[in-house]
Amino acid sequence: MRRSVNIAYGLSRRLSLVALLAVLFACKAGAEWEREINLADADGKLLDAFEIRRLNEADKSFKEGRYREAAAQYEAFSKEFSRSVAVPYAILRKGRSMQYDLKRGEAIKIYNDLMDYFPDRVAYAAPALFYIGECQMDNGNREVALKTWKELADDKDYRKHWIAAYALNSLAGRLLEQGEVGDAAKYYLQTAVDFRDSNWDAAWRAMWEVRRIHVAVRPNVKALREACTALKGFERRPGEFRGAEEDYFWRVVSEQVERYGQDNRTLDTEAKRRDFCGYWAGVMEGTQPTNDDFQIQAAGLRLAYNGKKEAWVKRLDEQFAAYQKPSDWDRIVKWIGVYVGDKKKVEEYYSKLIFPKMQNGAIKDLLFTLIYPLPAMGKSSYFKLHFDTMDDQEKCGVGIRLFEPAQELAVDMLHRMKDVDRARMEELRLWAKGGGKKAAEFGLPLADYCVLVPAYAKEAYWLKAGLLRGIGKYREAIEAYMMNDDPPRNFYAIADCYVALGQIEAAVTQLREIEKFFKDEKSRASLKIADVYEGAGKRDLCVAELRGVLQKYRKSGESSTAHQRLQAMGIAIGGGTDAE
């Protein structure tokens, strides 16, 4: 016999998912934890028709949640077909049925029987050992469960089963809690290596934790490199380096340092953050010398560690000077972005630019780098663009991006478009997003223009109505919505305007039209009527309408909402207005 588990278990009946997920650090979503072990394909091919029929009956009961019936059926199968290759599967499912029926003590005995009599049927014995740990965990015996899962993780055969990945991650998580970082990293790495193909979710989680440990919990570049080598990269498939292997490794370092430098949960004290920055600044020093982004990041880490701004500026200026090539305007713009908080340094690098020689791409990058922190310099950059080389699509894109930080520049850019109709429609859309008096002042004249352009008329009426609603002109808004011709959306909006005007019956009439003529909107419109009555303080009519939703639209989502609202109001459920 391979082993026999001797287990002491309590009587507490904690919810399985809650207890287990707390240990696994959300390693898998709750629904995914209900994945079950199915009969192995090779075993299924060896069954006769009678065996298949009996197992199918038991499986059906199990899947439908009739666990006591399923347990009896699996037991009957094991007795009737005692020599069948499917007996270990039937025993496992019997134990699982008991476990779901909260009879965990009996389930553990059944799992132990399976492991005693079929220790080498790994496809079923390994899950049995894992489920024993589940039962122990649910019974409140956390340490015992972890020991069980350690036994699974350490068994050279059992640990190859995909379900063992969860045991490994559980152990690693517990060890990490206890401060045993090295052992935790070892188990996470084992999961990532062994289960990349058979259990990607668990492997991905383990890889995530391996990086977190070696980058932030206990920074160790040597251990991170060893893990990267063992895994052949941290991508979905081993060896997907997206470039040279060495460059890939340092890209991983850069990405993970950037991520955890902003992680307040892992670096939860100022001291931890400072040590983190100091360690990685030292590691990155002198590495990847021609990689500007890498060197800028390393300099930033050094600054965060020692607070010496002059040294930071000196380091960055040296990096720039060492590798700058004539006419590399993009690189100058990059440095302006790095120094954007220091106006003098920005001006220093800005003076290096020769705008007539620059392409629009670099000028646009400069514009959007400066427009928020240094709007005057951003505006100056805007007028350096080579407008004559830009098509309408490019002008439109720039105009849209500029609208929030610099409306006047956005409008100027749109006015430079050759397609005047499109330009005015784009400008209308931008004003309509904001609402208010200023938006109406500039947007309404544009709307009046655009409603005369067939391609934009429908949308223009809608936006015009919205602008009018924004300044309280509800009657004019209703007229615009009527011209929108987009039922029932515009009808709902008209009803809202009537409500704003205090014309409750007009709003209800409008919604009744929707309920009458739009099949897919019936329940929604009726529930909306209830909302209107409630907002107007007409409680009796609101209650009657909610009852009507229940009566007329029983299968709708709105029916459920109406039921909940009536219950919250303390109202008895019954028929309502127009109930059939």
pLDDT tens profile 215-273? 999 999 999 999 999 999 999 999 888 788 999 999 999 999 999 999 999 999 999 99
Cα distance between residue 28 and residue 77, in whole Å: 33
User: Cβ neighbours of residue 7 under 8 Å, at least 6 residues apart?
Assistant: 108, 112, 132, 136, 144, 148
For 358-503, where are the alpha helices, taking DSSP H only? 360-370, 375-382, 392-402, 407-415, 420-434, 437-450, 457-470, 474-484, 489-500
For the chain, the average pLDDT equals: 91
Asked if the model's pLDDT at residue 151 lies above 70, the reply is yes
Min mean pLDDT across 31-40, 339-348, 401-410, 445-454 is at 31-40
Number of H helices, E strands in the chain: 31, 0
Q: What's the average model confidence in pLDDT over 511-520?
A: 96
Asked if the model's pLDDT at residue 107 lies above 60, the reply is yes
The residue count of the chain comes to 580
Measured between its terminal Cα atoms, the distance across the chain in Å is 70
| Residue-wise DSSP of 59-108 | HHHHHTT-HHHHHHHHHHHHHHTTT-TTHHHHHHHHHHHHHHTT-HHHHH
Homologous superfamily (CATH) for 1-161? Tetratricopeptide repeat domain (1.25.40.10)
Structure-derived torsion over alpha carbons of residues 194, 196, 199, 201, reported in degrees to the nearest 10: 130
Q: What is the pLDDT of residue 13?
A: 27
Asked if the model's pLDDT at residue 577 lies above 50, the reply is no
Under the banding of pLDDT at 50, 70 and 90, the label for residue 146 is confident
Q: What is the pLDDT of residue 35?
A: 62
SS3 487: coil
For 501-538, where are the alpha helices, taking DSSP H only? 504-517, 522-535
Angle (deg, nearest 10), helices 67-80 and 87-100: 160
Q: What is the pLDDT of residue 574?
A: 52
pLDDT one-digit tens code per residue, 174-200: 889 989 999 999 999 999 998 998 889
Percent of the residues in the chain that have a pLDDT greater than 90, as a whole number: 82
Asked if the model's pLDDT at residue 2 lies above 80, the reply is no
Q: Scan for tokens 């350096």, then name that residue.
A: 384
Asked if the model's pLDDT at residue 10 lies above 50, the reply is no
pLDDT one-digit tens code per residue, 420-453: 999 999 999 999 998 899 999 999 999 999 999 9
Q: What is the pLDDT of residue 7?
A: 27
Which pair of structure tokens corresponds to residue 273?
């953050």
Min mean pLDDT across 30-39, 443-452, 488-497 is at 30-39
Q: What is the pLDDT of residue 242?
A: 78
pLDDT one-digit tens code per residue, 351-394: 999 999 999 999 999 999 999 999 999 999 999 999 999 999 99
Min mean pLDDT across 13-27, 157-171, 220-234, 493-507 is at 13-27
Under the banding of pLDDT at 50, 70 and 90, the label for residue 143 is confident
Q: Say if residue 326 is exposed, middle or buried (CB neighbours under 10 Å; 0-12, 13-18, 19+).
A: exposed
Asked if the model's pLDDT at residue 17 lies above 50, the reply is no
pLDDT one-digit tens code per residue, 274-329: 999 999 999 999 999 999 999 999 999 999 999 999 999 999 999 999 999 999 99
Asked if the model's pLDDT at residue 11 lies above 70, the reply is no
Under the banding of pLDDT at 50, 70 and 90, the label for residue 579 is very low
Cα distance between residue 228 and residue 211, in whole Å: 9
Dmax over Cα atoms in the chain, in whole Å? Answer: 90
pLDDT one-digit tens code per residue, 526-550: 999 999 999 999 999 999 999 999 9
pTM of the model: 0.75
The domain limits of the chain are 1-161, 513-580
Asked if the model's pLDDT at residue 23 lies above 70, the reply is no
Under the banding of pLDDT at 50, 70 and 90, the label for residue 580 is very low
- Cα distances from 542 to residues 340, 528, 536, in angstroms, run 58, 10, 9
